[in-house]
A and B are shown apart, each in its own frame.
Chain A
Amino acid sequence: MTTFSFDGEEVTAEPGQSVGAALLAAGYRSWRTTRHGGAPRGLFCGIGVCFDCLVVVNGRPGLRACLTEVRDGDVVSSQEGAGRDHLAC
């Protein structure tokens, strides 16, 4: 089994599973809020096209949860908007 954390909670996954699949299997349906309006988002297309399931993995925002393979010890966290507010100017 692979173990990672999501917003501080420990989550287990099958080896080779995507972050999105693991989160869904663990009962999470959303892990991002939209840039305008803050509406919840999670898996939509599930195949890398729609960019709806963006998530922060090990500090890197904007990753597609459906295409990102989860690794043991990953620190996954919810993403607010573009996840790059520190760059705003």
Chain B
Amino acid sequence: MDVLVIGAGMVGAACAYHCAAAGLRVTVLDRGGVATGTTSGGEGNILVSDKEPGPELDLALLSVRRWRILGERIGADRLELEHKGGVVVARSAPALAGLADLTGRQRACGVDAVDVTAGDLPALEPNLTRDVTGGAHYPQDMQVQPMLAAAALLRAARDLGATVHTGTEVRGFLFGRDGAVTGVRAGSGDRAAGWVVNAAGTWGGEVADLAGAPLPVLPRKGFVLVTEPLPRVIRHKVYTADYVAGVASDDAGLETSVVVEGTRAGTVLIGASRERVGFDRRMSLPVIRELAAQAIGLFPFLADVTLLRTYLGFRPYCPDHLPVIGPDPRVPGLVHACGHEGAGIGLSAATGHLIAQTLTGATPDLDLAPFRPERFAA
């Protein structure tokens, strides 16, 4: 059966690669270029550490295993995939108590989470502030260069027979007499397909509307700061214990909880802010200041380091903070792989794997019920 994937970002690339590897004939369409939408505004987090026990953590654990396999198959260097691990830092007694409670519950789910004393943190991160209460080390956390990885997976999919068309916008769906999807109406003409995968990221709701199967996927704005290139000064993904609370928050206002990491290029990336302000692309100096101040709090040496630039992205979130993965029973032939919020890069490998399993009739490695598209219907 032919599969048409809408979206050439990280999730679309992972779906295309896994479907092609499973023997399906795959076409990828994107109205822009490769990784120019949701993926371009991300940081490349592959995290289990920031997830509370539940369906998203199960998905993240599967995804960590699938990323390891992708690294072996495609080459970690070609993805800039680094098994660097994460370090979460608590800077008050209540924060440390909350973190210890979380690591205990995560360990029960199979997460490798090691509680670390304040005295042992400098051995993990020599440049970290000494003003810490304690922390946790998560060896399973990884990092990838998202645009590079999306391009590498699409290239691997093409080597397996897939075709990729950029600059091709999907304008509508084609339906058979039974109401099932038979293809899409695209900028370049009609394209037939047995399955259409909605991997349109933050615009997944618009694509779902075109198919007549609404999904509540909304944008959450986030800034990332980029420093001048440095030698390796930060070994892990380092963030404060407040980050987990921020990720799960329903607050519409501005939230910042800092995440700091080095990259292979030498720049240090500083995230992560969250604002629900629609598709507002405006720069915000107060947000940048707050993130920079929090980063300096964690790594005092950053006070003397120059920022080269900032960028922002829109994280596609659903009201229950879970992605939408799997066939849509409202419109046969329509399959969703979107709404991963700020975790789409990390969760993409498992998402693509599960979509390929579903479309080939295999039993998915994970129960997709928590991610079902029709769960939002009032």
Contacts and interface: CB of A to CB of B under 8 A. Distances in A.
Given A51-B228, A82-B266, A89 B301 contact: no
A62 interface: yes
Contacts of A89: 125-127, 232-233, 235
Given A87-B230, A89-B127, 8 more contacts: A62-B305, A82-B230, A82-B266, A85-B231, A87-B231, A88-B231, A89-B125, A89-B235
Interface of A: 35, 51, 54, 60, 62-63, 81-82, 84-85, 87-89
Nearest to A89: B126
Interface residues of B, number: 16
B120 to A, nearest CB: 15
B229 interface: yes
A62 B231 CA distance: 12
Contacts of A63: 306
B233 A88 contact: yes
A63 B371 CA distance: 49
A66 B229 CA distance: 18
A88 B232 contact: yes
Give the interface centre of A60, A85, A89 by most chain B CB atoms within 10 Å: A89
8 contacts: A51-B228, A54-B228, A62-B305, A82-B230, A87-B231, A87-B233, A88-B231, A89-B126
Interface in B117-135: 125-127
A81 B231 CA distance: 9
A51 B304 CA distance: 16
Contacts of B228: 51, 54, 62, 82
Interface of B: 125-127, 228-233, 235, 266, 301, 304-306, 308
A47 to B, nearest CB: 15
Contacts of B229: 35, 82
B118 to A, nearest CB: 18
A29 B235 CA distance: 35
Contacts of A62: 228, 305-306
Nearest to A82: B230
Contacts of B301: 87
A88 B125 CA distance: 11
A49 to B, nearest CB: 10
Give the interface centre of A54, A62, A63 by most chain B CB atoms within 10 Å: A62
A88 B230 CA distance: 8
B225 to A, nearest CB: 15
Contacts of B126: 89
A81 to B, nearest CB: 7
Contact of A60 (B127, B230, B235, B304): B304
B371 to A, nearest CB: 40
Closest 9 CB pairs of A and B: A88-B231, A89-B126, A87-B233, A82-B230, A62-B228, A62-B306, A84-B230, A82-B231, A82-B229
A75 B308 CA distance: 24
A87 B4 CA distance: 48
Nearest to A81: B231
B341 to A, nearest CB: 32
Contacts of A35: 229, 231, 266
Contacts of A60: 304
Contacts of A88: 231-233
